[in-house]
Homo-oligomer: A and B are copies of this chain.
């Protein structure tokens, strides 16, 4: 599972050098699973402990920034990923930002304005639960923007993310990929449990009618914005356990590649004795 993780992750990583075809990735597949749920959870605990230790150093280092973008259809498990994977880390250096339908004040600005305001500071890990990608997904699917405007936006997004990257931000974009049938099950579960009604919006059913349009829009957006500085990872997410393990493995690979270091000690401090 973990030892050959690097090559395996590359198969699900899109940085512009290879084309992403959504139909070729099976949402029900579990490439990072051992086939045994208990073993998978043990691996998740093991990776979580490593992520926690690495985050501690990134925070101390106070130099670089990490931005994790979670995208996916309704019920794809964005909230569950936050809970299942990011709870391993110290809340001190972690911030989760959810982007919902924009407010009138937000709409009075450009669509990157509210997003830019929430980007990570030095030493911080920020998770976007939805993001500026909605502005080339929901808007495109509903025809609020045409193909030309959508293409312009891909350009804005690439320039924005390149700027973030060049000013010290490591960007990890995850598409949580579920099947239409898995979404049906999950929406039905929300309906069948009154304690989950708060998560259910009848508008989700109408949105589900645009499924094929969304798949096309995701494929197009991912291909247009997959770059070496801001790659997309496509995460088969019909299995929640697999999804958590895979996202954790991706983060582990990214954090380890960053090689965080504690700031150098200050020799001038060494002689100090506190009275």
Contact = CB atoms under 8 A, between A and B. Distances in A.
Given A90-B83, A91-B87, A265 B195 contact: yes
Q: How large is the interface on A (under 10, 10 to 19, 20 to 34, 35 or more residues)?
A: 35 or more
Contacts of A12: none
Interface string A108-141: 0000000000000000000101000000000000
A79 interface: yes
Contact of A198 (B60, B194, B202, B205): B60
Given A188-B273, A194-B265, A195-B262, A79 B94 contact: no
**Copy number in this complex?**
2
Contact of A269 (B83, B92, B96, B191): B191
Contact of A197 (B62, B129, B198, B263): B263
Interface string A34-78: 000000000000000000000000001010000000000000000
Contacts of A89: 87, 91
Contacts of A129: 92
Name which of A60, A87, A91, A266 has the most chain B CB atoms within 10 A of its CB: A91
Interface of A: 60, 62, 79, 82-83, 86-87, 89-92, 94-96, 98, 127, 129, 184, 187-188, 191, 194-195, 197-200, 202, 205, 208, 262-266, 269-270, 272-275
